[in-house]
Structure formats: structure tokens, C-alpha cells
Amino acid sequence: MIELLAPAGDLEKLRYALIYGADAVYIGGNEFSLRARASNFTIDTIKEGVKFAHSLGKKVYITTNIIPHEEDIGGLIEYLKALEDANVDAIICASPLIIKTALQHTNLEIHLSTQQSAINKHSLMFWKEYGVERVVLGRELSLDEIYALPKNLLDIEVFIHGGMCMSFSGRCSLSNTFTNRDANRGGCAHSCRWKYYLYNNNEKVSNEYFSMSSKDLMAIKAIPRLIDIGVKSLKVEGRMKSLHYISTVIKTYRMLIDEYIKTGTIKDFKFYEDEIYKAENRLTGIGYLDGDIGPDKQLYEFLGERPNQAFIGLVQEFDKETMIAKIEQRNYFELGDTIEIFSPNKENQTFILDNMVNEDYEEIDVARHAKQIVYIKLPFEVSKYSMLRKVL
């Protein structure tokens, strides 16, 4: 069975990712992780996350994927042993030092990070002999190139959605050069997305700016082929993305994967693309997977940011007798709005908001305060972990 692997920047996102259909999540601890600004996990919260995932029969992988300088090495053995004690299912590594240390001092399963640029069979053979059990392929491969790789050596994991680094397998030095924030030690400033102007001898050639950013990856149409190829895990990028984004993207790919496995075909790719766009706010493309990397995959003169349907609340409780839901507000909404509710394992449903009271049970017209609690009578049943978004 193919694995759907989700990012999680904190415990709340971990829970939602798993409940919305991920088979596993990858998270970063406070040390040795490539997302220094994410809400990274302590050992205690890692244990809590692992306990929750295992209660659902699902897995947790820990990113230990920095490229360490000498000053970063202290405490590595103790940290890896703490992860083993936390019962994590695997660690994701880029540095041979971290891999070797884990193999020598723990029984942790090792997954090779995309940072190592494993893109040919000889690389796979090398890392198999080294002790790695899964390789996260470099993102520069086409579907045909992935098909040509041996699948009986070790498990293969492929990125299917999220941000794409403009550098080779994410090994970029722009951020370090411009801001002294090392992307390979967790500090990427996304310098490729800045606005640049072309100069000749200190004279601006044009007033038109450009960027060096690529479109985000969206591999909706490639999923059937990846499943047929025998890829073990399909990975979504985005540990710093919102709760709404992660839940929407994971549910969409979950439905797509399940439809293909059940029927052997996909009836309507556009349905899944439309679902993704309810959370996606950057332009997307299929990346390298179709083997054709042209200007249409890049964002040279346009950063691609755009508004999407607004995430407005979380269902905290629902009373089946009164049909009243307790909602935690996340964005502004008001009476008369058309609201869509989406839930795990259930089709989306819409209604027009015509009633709302606050915590003092006073009627209100608008929910405008961050994380305000409101109560709404709904025309259908919902469950905890359901989300509300405004249809624009």
C-alpha cells in the first residue's frame, strides 16, 4: 500500500494531518532540523505525537537533515538516542555523519533526505550498502527516470506537492550569501523569491523586476503513474504551512489515491485540482515530472501570490440533539456568508450562515476577533476536526 506522507509543524497540525488522511507525518525537533523557524517539537511533544500517531496505526518520521558544521555536532548521540526512546519510526538524514552515528549508536530506521540528490541507481546502491532503508529522491527526476530506477533495492519516496527550491535538490547558498542565514542549517530566507533588477555598469537596464523562484509543485495528474511505478511514499512539503492548507491538501490527495486504488482510474482530475486551489495561494506546476522544464514552470516576473477561499473556523464540538456547533474563529465572517464545511472522510457541504451567538449566547452578526468562540446551528451533522471556509 502506498504511503501518503504529510508535514507537521506542531502537534495540532500533526493531529489534523493524520485525521485528514495521511499515513505518516514528518516533523522537526529542536535540533538538527532544516526548518529553524517552524514550531519545532521538543522530545516530550515528539513522544506525544508518536503516541497519537501509533494509536491510529500511523507513523512519525523526524527530520535530522541539516548539513552540520563542526559546531553543530555536539549532543548528536544523545539526541538520536532520545528519538529512539521516543519510539519514532524513522529519521530523515542528509549528512553521512548523522547517518553513521545513528547506525552505530541506535536501531533507528534511516531515510535519506532529498538534500543528498539521489537521482540514479548507483546512488541508490551506495546508500543501500551504507545502511539506508528509504531514499527521498531528488526533485530533478521525470516520471520516466523514476520508472527506470530499481524498486527492489530500498523504498523510494517522491515529493508530490509544495514548494520547489530553485537550486539542485535544495542545496542553495543564496540565503547564506545575502543574509548569513544558512539554508542547509535551517535558515533559508527564500532569496530566490525576492525582486531583482538587471544592471549594466551600475545602470539599471530595465524597470521590470524578475525573480528566480519556481512554481510550487502539484503532481495531481502524476499520482496514478507514481503508484503504478511502485513508489513507496508520496510526500507533501510544507511544515510551515497553515492548518487549513495541510488538511485540504492531504484530504485531496487521500481521496485521489483511494479512488485510483479502488477503481484503477481517475474520473475527474479537475475536481481534485479545484480542491487543492481552495488552500493553495501560489501558482503551481508539475515540476520536473513531465520532463519538460520550460519558462512556464518558473516565476520570472510574477511572484504568483493570490488570494484563496478564506479559512474561517474550526469545529470544536457538535451537539447532535440541538445541531449546534461550537466554532473557534480563525478569520472574519458574518451572517449571510456562504460557508463550506469540510471534514475527514466526508464530502464537503455548504450552507448560508443565518444565525450566530457568542460565548454569552448573545446574538451577533459578525465574528471578527481572533480565536473567538461562537455557536452556530447547522442544517447537517458535523464532527470534531471539521473546518469552515467562506465561499468567495
Residue 237 and residue 110 in one domain = yes
Query: For the whole model, what pTM was predicted?
Result: 0.92
Residue 98 and residue 235 in one domain = yes
pLDDT digits (tens, 9 = 90+) for 12-42: 999 999 999 999 999 998 877 765 555 579 9
Q: Report which DSSP code applies to 52.
A: H
C-alpha triplet 356, 382, 58: angle, nearest 5°: 135
- Regions of the chain short of the pLDDT cut 70: 34-39, 169-170, 182-187, 300-309
Q: Helices marked H in 106-242 — which ranges? A: 121-130, 143-148, 174-179, 223-229
d(CA 296, CA 298): 6
Identify the bridge partners of residue 261 per DSSP, sorted by sequence position: none
Q: Which CATH number characterizes residue 127's domain? A: 3.20.20.380
The pLDDT score that the predictor gives to residue 253 is: 98
Which of 231, 264, 299 is a domain's end point?
A: 299
pLDDT digits (tens, 9 = 90+) for 181-227: 766 656 677 777 788 888 999 999 988 888 888 888 999 999 999 99
Residue 104 and residue 220 in one domain = yes
Q: Which range of residues forms the domain containing residue 353?
A: 310-390
DSSP string, 200-224: ETTEES-S--B--EEPEEE-GGGHH
Residue 165 and residue 34 in one domain = yes
Residue 294 and residue 348 in one domain = no
The pLDDT score that the predictor gives to residue 185 is: 59
The pLDDT score that the predictor gives to residue 308 is: 61
Residue 27 and residue 102 in one domain = yes
DSSP string, 320-373: TTTTEEEEEE-S-EETT-EEEEEETTEEEEEEE----B-TT--B-SEE-STT-E
Asked whether residue 275 is assigned to any structural domain, the reply reads yes
Asked whether residue 261 is assigned to any structural domain, the reply reads yes
What is the total count of domains within the chain? 2
Residue 349 and residue 282 in one domain = no
Q: Which CATH number characterizes residue 383's domain? A: 2.40.30.10
* Amino acid residing at 227: I
H or E element that contains 71 = none
